[in-house]
Amino acid sequence: MTDWNQMSDAEFRKEVRRFFETEYPAELRNLSHRPKFAEIEHWHKKLHAKGWVAPAWPAEYGGMGLNAAKLLIFYEEQQRWGIVRGRDMGVQMVGPLIIKYGTQAQKDYWLPRILSCETIWCQGYSEPGAGSDLANLRTRAALEGDEFVINGQKIWTTMAHDSTHIFMLVRTDPNAPKKQQGISFLLARMDQPGITVRTIKTLAGEEEFCEVFLDNARTPRENLVGEMNKGWTMAKALLSFERIFIGSPNLAQNALIQLEGFARGRGAFEDPVFRDRFAQAALDVEDHAALYTRFADQLKRGETLGSDVSMLKIWVTETFQRITELMVEAAGPDGGTLGPLQVGNVGMDVLSSFYKARPTTIYGGANEIQRNILAKAVLELPD
Domain residue extents for the chain: 4-86, 121-232, 239-378
Domain 121-232 has CATH 2.40.110.10: yes
pTM of the predicted model as reported, rounded to 2 decimal places: 0.84
Phi, psi of 298 (to 5 degrees): -60, -45
Q: List, for residues 71-111, the tens digit of each pLDDT value.
A: 888 988 988 888 887 788 899 889 989 998 999 999 999 99
Count of other CB atoms within 10 angstroms of residue 136: 13
Q: How far apart are CA 269 and CA 375, in angstroms?
A: 39
Taking the chain, what is the end-to-end CA distance rounded to the nearest angstrom?
Answer: 53
Q: List, for residues 5-31, the tens digit of each pLDDT value.
A: 999 999 999 999 999 999 999 999 877
Q: Which of 242, 286, 318, 325 is catalytic?
A: 242
What pLDDT is stored for residue 129 in this prediction? 83
Cα angle 211-215-219, degrees, rounded to a multiple of 5: 100
Phi, psi of 237 (to 5 degrees): -60, -35
310 touches 374 (CB < 8 A): yes
Give the mean pLDDT of the chain.
90
Q: What is the dihedral of CA 202, 330, 284, 17, to 10 degrees?
A: 70
Q: Which residues pair with 343 in a beta bridge?
A: 346
The fraction of the chain above a pLDDT of 70, given in percent, is 97
What pLDDT is stored for residue 246 in this prediction? 80
The fraction of the chain above a pLDDT of 90, given in percent, is 56
What pLDDT is stored for residue 348 in this prediction? 78
Q: List, for residues 227-241, the tens digit of each pLDDT value.
A: 999 998 887 765 655
Q: How far apart are CA 78 and CA 56, in angstroms?
A: 14
What DSSP string describes 353-377? HHHHHGGGGTTTS-HHHHHHHIIII
Q: How far apart are CA 68 and CA 240, in angstroms?
A: 12
User: Could you tell me the pLDDT band of residue 345, with boundaries at 50, 70 and 90?
Assistant: low
CATH of 239-378 among 3.30.70.120, 1.20.140.10, 3.30.360.10, 1.10.540.10: 1.20.140.10
pLDDT at residue 179 greater than cutoff 90 = no
How do strand 147-154 and strand 121-124 relate by DSSP bridges? Answer: unpaired
> Which amino acid, residue 330?
A
pLDDT at residue 327 greater than cutoff 70 = yes
338 touches 253 (CB < 8 A): no
Q: How far apart are CA 111 and CA 63, in angstroms?
A: 10
> Can you say whether residue 226 is alpha, beta or left, with left for phi > 0 and alpha for psi between -120 and 50 degrees?
left
Longest Cα separation, the chain: 72
259 touches 330 (CB < 8 A): yes
Active site residue 77: no
Q: List, for residues 138-173, the tens digit of each pLDDT value.
A: 999 999 999 999 999 999 999 999 999 999 999 999
Q: What is the dihedral of CA 89, 91, 94, 99, to 10 degrees?
A: -170
